[in-house]
Structure 1
């Protein structure tokens, strides 16, 4: 049986209850429980005890012993931070830092702008302490502070309990600062280039590199000196196998085929080595470096990145390697590229020796997604009717993948351009800042007044919230927009 991944923010009490339940079922002879004991216990005792059930539970999650699992949970607790849950402070320096940095949970538009206003009213906040010096890139003041006490470079504090290097790389202020010089000072005085935290208990570390690169499900902006900061951190020893950075700039948020971050990480050893200090701390909870290349190739195939595909194949990514994330559905990269209509990526993978196994319905979906009307017609009306009944959200997927030709073809087959699958196809086009797909949907009769089921916002609300100015301008000018909503 495969190793399971621990749940997010794992609880020792919940794992104890899981072990007790396993013991109860194994003693009762439940086949699934007995199979788990046989698979994961080195001796598979006939009459298991609680210690045996705990050992099996630990090994299910990739830990050699129950003690190792408990130690892991202690590590998670030690490094967990929840910046998005920190309440406002009446202390000016604390409140400034709270507003100045990305939190990956409360990053609404204008939030960091409030920090700029606070700093403009109270300029002394820039040098109030080592953390504000880092967040503002006040290199001269930081040099003096570190000369007085070098230990401040690795101190934890401020509203988020972070090291100064994290406040520096997660800050998003408009006022230019000497960030690279400030970061070099911190590193020269002993700051950890791999500094990071576990966001709300998630085991993928949000590192200083993650902060420098930005991105993610909220399309958070990169640091204004992101590339230079990232190179400095990598040169100082930050591990390039940075799972959260890869997610934020790949599978999470809007997608572009930009490869600059990948080129830099590959230059410093992405896909190689032992995973660095965070994998040493978290062990099997983090993916090994080689698996990260598989995930990246799967992402390039899923989301349509020919530049990324070429780069990853050139650096030894396994053409038929499987990504672990549920979004890949256990598919090979080639299958993902075919099913999402990414013809150029599919051709690159096929040329590299990729294989795929699609059934007839999947082949029909692939033809729809690449906008191949002739191939779709060859399947006949019955197949189209079955797809419409079984997968009405296919038109949403086409919009998410920036495929206006596929949207037009699916609409002609009877798919609803306003299909509400949490959100409509027009919401997807708005979030992607994809004017061409948005225009296609409007021309096909899409209703821009429909609100999504999670936030109660229209497509224009999504565009304005995410700063997608091109689509926002188009939707305002389309003459069919009911008004502005906020997410």
Structure 2
């Protein structure tokens, strides 16, 4: 696992300097440098630090950033130099109307995305209806078939030319455009077809601020992401456009699509990608460009874990039907929200009180786990099954203390995934109603409280119950330094904001 984050706009010279600095520090006997060597170099400690070579220092630096070797790091940096998408460009207004239209019309995967931004793009196009006549990137974003066709006829090389505010190629602007959700399929497919016929690459993609998972054309087609489908929707003609790109050779193994679409239970994107061979190929051109991308077998297993933990039985069935391993324990490196903790899929289903998914996995041949009083107690609590909780406690008096020790933030997860009855039961069992945890995944991280999530979700019943149980409305989350009231206001949840406002002290002001 990497121990260092990739810097913004990384350059090979910076990593060369880091390697030389490490070499000098190791030769000088610096304790921190020697510890880095022991942790990341396969040879471990040296008998004579004075013999530490630059190639060894380069290997240590590469591994600190998550790459198996220095050549793999350098190859990645070459890919970054060619394919980086700098998202900061999305917040910088452009003076030229065509450039500004492109900036406003397209998904940026920044905080600016949403209907208000697209409305400004529509207004700008109405004010400058001819802005696409000499600008192929604006013509593509506006899906103007005649302008795209004429510009390509005049200069065929425009199809592969990067331009516009984001330095994208024309087809990318078409696919990421969202300013007109009523645009006709005929126009969109006609523009896409002309660009592909002229030589546009169906596997076009860019690295979002140098992160290794590429945002491809398919990523843009399927949309969604952390801001939700209201602000990052799929393309209005995603099915036809996606099929067109896949028929043209787009690789279905699209890691960023899997991530962006996992938050909602809709599986239509997976159905299309499986139709074209998702998980059966070698990873396509991006796997060649970035050799350290994970395997798709593992990525699909991560999808399986998310689906189990977030009560998505349809996705679990779809993944299992397409050969995704639902028997083996989760092991090895993974995202923080999908750890290699040794649990099997059926254990996770039971732990989250999901008897439907657990029953399906058993019916498909998964082996039920052996007895585990802690898991059984948590699972019973998530089902709000008080009699079972009492039976587990009676037979295993130590189980509750161990559950509280190992899962101190469990009540935060319950506030997003379970019922008011489960939250109440956990509080009665001694789980701290003011504990910090994560609401997006059942892992321990001191991020926010249960009250933050009930406020965000506009759940008045749960918010009232948490307050009755002793939740403190003045607590601030550990990432944004915001109160539950701040969360309610930020996400426009007026019912919970109204409930919390009289209970939340105003922020202190300086003299």
Q: TM-score range by the shorter chain?
A: 0.7 to 0.9
Change (3 A) 1:303 1:25: farther
Aligned position for 1:344 = 356
> After the TM superposition, which of the residue ranges 185-194 and 320-329 deviates more from structure 2?
320-329
Aligned partner (choices 415, 440, 447) of residue 399 of structure 1: 415
Which residue of the other structure, out of 296, 309, 314, is the alignment partner of 1:302? 309
Contact 2:23 2:54 in 1 (8 A): no
**Cα displacement (A) at 1:241:** 0.8
State the alpha-carbon separation in 2 of the partners of residues 424 and 36 from structure 1.
Answer: 36
Counterparts of 1:343 and 1:18 in 2: how far apart (Å)? 52
CA distance in 1, matches of 2:240, 2:80: 30
Q: Name the residue aligned to 1:132.
A: 138
Aligned partner of 2:440 in structure 1 is none
- 1:194 is displaced (CA, Å) by 1.1
Does 2:56 match 1:52? yes
> Which among 238, 248, 253 is matched to residue 260 of structure 2?
248
Out of 288, 305, 309, the residue aligned to residue 295 of structure 2 is: 288
Q: Structure 2: how far apart are the matches of 1:275 and 1:4?
A: 22
- SS of aligned partner of 1:198: strand
Which residue of 2 is the match for residue 408 of structure 1?
424
Match of 1:157 in 2: 163
Relative to structure 1, is the Cα distance of residues 162 and 395 closer, same or farther in structure 2, using a 3 angstrom cutoff? Answer: same
Aligned to 1:367: 380
For the residues of structure 1 that align with 2:381 and 2:119, how far apart are their CA atoms? 44
Report the secondary structure of 1:125's partner residue.
coil
Count matched residues. 468
CA distance in 1, matches of 2:179, 2:208: 22
Tell me, in whole angstroms, the C-alpha distance in 1 between the residues paired with 2:335 and 2:371. 20
Question: Any idea what SS the aligned residue of 2:207 has?
Answer: strand
2:118 alignment counterpart:
112
Determine the C-alpha separation between the residues in 1 that align with 2:19 and 2:345: 35
Residue 22 of structure 2 corresponds to which residue in structure 1?
21
Deviation at 1:170, TM superposition (A): 1.4
* 1:16–1:479 CA distance, 2 compared to 1 (3 A): closer
Query: Offset of 1:340 from its aligned partner?
Result: 2.8
The answer to whether residue 338 in structure 2 is matched with residue 328 in structure 1 is yes
Go from structure 1 to structure 2 and tell me whether the alpha carbon gap of 1:185 and 1:358 turns closer, same or farther (over 3 Å shift): farther
TM (norm. structure 2) is 0.79
| Structure 1 segment 449-464 matched on structure 2, within 5 A | 453=477, 454-455=479-480, 462=487
1:104-126 deviation digits (Å, cap 9, x = unpaired): 12325422222122222222234
Q: Assess, with a 3 A threshold, how the Cα gap between structure 1 residues 185 and 36 changes in structure 2: closer, same or farther.
A: same
* TM-aligned CA distance change 1:451 to 1:64, over 3 Å: closer
User: Which residue pairs with 2:265 in the alignment?
Assistant: 257
**CA 1:175–1:396: 2 relative to 1, 3 Å:** closer
1:271 to 279, 303, 310: 279
Question: Secondary structure of 1:197's match?
Answer: strand
Q: SS of the counterpart of 2:131? A: helix
- Once the two structures are superposed, the pairs formed by residues 130-279 of structure 1 within 5 Å of their partners are 130-174=136-180, 176-177=182-183, 178-219=187-228, 220-250=232-262, 255-279=263-287
Distance 1:38 1:145, change over 3 A: closer
Go from structure 1 to structure 2 and tell me whether the alpha carbon gap of 1:22 and 1:313 turns closer, same or farther (over 3 Å shift). Answer: farther
Output the aligned Cα RMSD. Answer: 3.8
Instruction: Using the TM superposition, name which of 401-410 and 17-26 deviates more.
Output: 17-26
Cα distance in 1 for residues equivalent to 2:43 and 2:64: 9
Partner of 1:439: 461
In 2 relative to 1, CA 59–461 (structure 1 residues): closer, same or farther, beyond 3 Å?
Answer: closer
Distance 1:16 1:268 in 2: 44
Query: Structure 2 stretches of 5 or more lacking a match?
Result: 438-446, 507-511
Unaligned runs of 5+ in 1: none
- CA drift of 1:78 comes to 2.0
User: Residues 68 and 115 (structure 1 numbering): CA distance in 2 closer, same or farther, change over 3 Å?
Assistant: same
Q: CA deviation at 1:206?
A: 0.7
More displaced stretch, 70-79 vs 308-317: 70-79
Alpha-carbon offset, residue 22 of structure 1? 7.1
TM-score, L = length of structure 1: 0.82
